[in-house]
Structure 1
């Protein structure tokens, strides 16, 4: 059980990193330093961006649930 949760945790962490990096910049941050600020002002929020937000949040919740479950299993292990 612990091994399965650890594998899910690693996969969720990698996917969450990829999904966060796929988001386009909202301007004013590091993305505008590399020229991303001009593009973010020209286009609005698309369906793809909204779906990417949803998938990122779901992946974050899975990651958080794995951390809590692993800590509970470790705390109550006999």
Structure 2
């Protein structure tokens, strides 16, 4: 059971990292100077895609937390 939870934890971690990296920046520093996170493009801005990305990120963060608690209880 512990091995299964550990594999699931790794999968949740990889997906969560990917989702966080998909978020646009705040246009600060060098990323703003080069046009990263300007909201121009098919995934930028405050569109429905951005709202759904926020929802998926929160959902996977909650799943990651619940799996962490399960892993602590099984040891």
* TM-score interval (norm. to shorter): 0.7 to 0.9
In the TM superposition, residue 30 of structure 1 has moved relative to its aligned partner by 6.0
> Which protein is bigger by CA-based radius of gyration?
1
Q: Write the distance in 2 (CA, Å) between the matches of 1:6 and 1:69.
A: 10
The TM-score normalised by the length of structure 2 is: 0.79
SS at match of 1:36: coil
RMSD: 2.1
Q: Write the distance in 1 (CA, Å) between the matches of 2:30 and 2:6.
A: 32
- In the other structure, the counterpart of 1:46 is 47
CA contact (8 A) 1:26 1:40 kept: no
Matches for 1:8-27 after TM superposition, within 5 Å: 8-27=8-27
- The structure-2 alpha-carbon separation of the partners of 1:10 and 1:33, relative to structure 1 and needing over 3 Å to count, comes to farther
Question: Which consecutive unaligned segments of at least 5 residues does structure 1 have?
Answer: none
The TM-score normalised by the length of structure 1 is: 0.77
Instruction: Give the helix-richer structure, 1 or 2.
Output: 1
In the TM superposition, residue 44 of structure 1 has moved relative to its aligned partner by 3.9
